[in-house]
Structure 1
Amino acid sequence: MSGSRQTQSDAETTPAQPGAGTESKRPLYLQVAGTLREEIVSGVYPVGSKLPTEDGLCERFSVSRYTVREALRLLREDGLVASRKRAGTVVIPPRVSGSDIQQVMSINDLLALGTDTRFRIDAIHTVTIDTELAAHTGLEPGEQWLRVEGFRFNEGENAPASRTEHFINRKYAAVGRLLQRHEGPIFPLIEDLFGINIVRVEQQISAAILPPPLAAVLEVEEGSAALEIRRTYTTADASVAQITINIHPGTRFQHSMSMRRVRN
């Protein structure tokens, strides 16, 4: 009827006029998802990069916010992106079933890690760094740090992907009150709460052997090979804000990185 209003649902799924291509007959959210999927796979949006905002995608594709959100939902289900509050929608590394694949080239890439995992906290307490912890963390003996212990799980998997420990500078220990309700990496929360900037992250990867208790929880054989990844987060004034140590079963972890030749 002339002058009648068309509902959002009808508008987003209305078939194209006769003569239009097959692609235009698909629901708009599938078209948007298909285009973005091709761009992610082809490298237009590399791992660790952000997709445009919902408003930006609405403007680009001339569609509603509902359509954009449905398209992004499909991309998340395909394991191509992860969404996080205040960080937007980030392209994440591909995952092989049963394996945790990480590709880290910048601090921004660390935001992508953890967005599609769940961290189960087992303990939060203040510790004084002794000789053993100093060797484990690289911290000075006698200092006090907030220690957060738990296990990280990949989405849809029951066995833990890693044993995870966070050591947080005592100056920022108040962040511990928020961690039970927090999702994603901790260092952006510290930045937001205390107005600091993490400008450098040093990563050290070492081989390890899983002791019996930890092997049992990670559901692998006692004495299995593992990888220990220690990341040290440093602020602009060169002080250490956080140290994170992840222990991954060797059969479930793969670290991926790419290098480019720089020509003078």
Structure 2
Amino acid sequence: MKETAPSAATPAKTGSAKEPLYRQVVAALRSEILQGLHPVGQNLPTEGELAERFQLSRHTIREALRELRLNGVVASRRGSGTVVLSSTTAQSYLHETGSLDDLLQYAASRLEIRHTRIADVAAALVPCLNGASPAQWLRLEGVRFEEGNAQPFCWTQVYLHPDHAGVARLIGKRSTPVYELIEETYGVRIGEAEQTIRMCEATDEVAALLGLAKKATVVELLRVYRLTDGKVVEISRNLYASTHFSLTFKLRRAEVGR
């Protein structure tokens, strides 16, 4: 089903039409909660009811509810649905990348694909799929090189949704980021890229590829790319030697009730 921003007839919809659809749903539900239409302690409508009301897919509704959970506004309880916890968002500090193009500072390198196969998404990454099937994704693994350097500085693993796996033939042959290849090839639009950074221990294989000692600590960048309807189409993991990675950003205070 091709989704479009709901018309004026859709109840209580707020937000810019340029925003991802799920964020428009978040804005609408948050506004209704602030107005007391969904009191604290009571349930929100079911996923099916919200999907019908907003004329959007369940994927999009799940993404909206996920963001409300992360903000502490609601909680999902087995057998009880989604319960409203608070009418305000807890004060926090946010770092938001201005655009997807800002991520390219991490991708300015040459990618060499070493392995390609059809595989299930790794168990640790399944929660990123928002309920989508983890089966039969295309998995690519390779290494990245800096210009003029024969020693890889990054190990990369990419999972591509089965519906968009055709771009694999272009990866490594063009410098275009994978998400842009998906957009160009399939005529879709990436609405959001979520990035998580953490430290972890390199496997023996990764340590050897990056010229590190066994059990060396590496920096992991995990990115999840979603279409404007919330559908996950790409997951990428990049492992860097700690000496080859740095990150600087500014924090701004989040507005209460945003």
Aligned to 2:103: 110
Aligned to 1:74: none
Q: What is the Cα deviation at residue 180 of structure 1?
A: 4.2
Answering whether residue 124 of structure 2 is matched by residue 135 of structure 1, we say yes
Report if aligned partners of 2:112, 2:142 keep a CA contact under 8 Å in 1: yes
Counterpart residue type for residue 208 of structure 1 = C
For residues 142-170 of structure 1, the C-alpha deviation after alignment (integer angstroms, 9 at most, x for no partner) is: 52211111001122222212110111111
Identity %: 30
Report if aligned partners of 1:137, 1:243 keep a CA contact under 8 Å in 2: no
How far apart are the structure 2 equivalents of 1:202 and 1:263?
20
Answering whether residue 246 of structure 2 is matched by residue 257 of structure 1, we say no
What SS is found at the alignment partner of 2:235? strand
Q: What is the Cα deviation at residue 135 of structure 1?
A: 0.8
How far apart are the structure 2 equivalents of 1:104 and 1:142?
28
- How many equivalent residue pairs? 158
How far apart are the structure 1 equivalents of 2:165 and 2:123?
19
Q: How does 1:180-191 map to 2 (within 5 A)?
A: 180-191=172-183
Unaligned runs of at least 5 residues, structure 1: 1-102
Shift of the 257–217 alpha-carbon distance from structure 1 to 2, 3 Å rule, reads same
Aligned to 1:238: 230
Shift of the 170–143 alpha-carbon distance from structure 1 to 2, 3 Å rule, reads same
Greater relative contact order (CA < 8 Å, ≥ 6 in sequence)? 2
Report if aligned partners of 1:113, 1:185 keep a CA contact under 8 Å in 2: no
Answering whether residue 159 of structure 2 is matched by residue 167 of structure 1, we say yes
Q: What is the Cα deviation at residue 185 of structure 1?
A: 1.3
For residues 34-71 of structure 1, the C-alpha deviation after alignment (integer angstroms, 9 at most, x for no partner) is: xxxxxxxxxxxxxxxxxxxxxxxxxxxxxxxxxxxxxx
Q: What is the Cα deviation at residue 124 of structure 1?
A: 1.8
How far apart are the structure 1 equivalents of 2:253 and 2:203?
41
How far apart are the structure 2 equivalents of 1:219 and 1:117?
18
Q: What is the Cα deviation at residue 106 of structure 1?
A: 3.0
Q: Which moved more, 1:163-172 or 1:175-184?
A: 175-184
Q: What is the Cα deviation at residue 178 of structure 1?
A: 2.0
| TM-score of the two chains, using structure 2 as the length reference | 0.56
| TM-score of the two chains, using structure 1 as the length reference | 0.54
Residue in structure 2 matching 1:226, options 214, 218, 227 = 218
Query: Please, what is the CA RMSD of the aligned residues?
Result: 2.4
For residues 203-247 of structure 1, the C-alpha deviation after alignment (integer angstroms, 9 at most, x for no partner) is: 111210112222111011111111111000000111001011001
Shift of the 150–258 alpha-carbon distance from structure 1 to 2, 3 Å rule, reads same
Aligned to 1:7: none
Answering whether residue 198 of structure 2 is matched by residue 206 of structure 1, we say yes
Specify the structure having the higher radius of gyration (Cα). Answer: 1
How far apart are the structure 2 equivalents of 1:247 and 1:120?
14
What SS is found at the alignment partner of 1:222? coil
Q: What is the Cα deviation at residue 123 of structure 1?
A: 1.5
Report if aligned partners of 2:111, 2:172 keep a CA contact under 8 Å in 1: no
Counterpart residue type for residue 239 of structure 1 = K
Shift of the 158–137 alpha-carbon distance from structure 1 to 2, 3 Å rule, reads farther
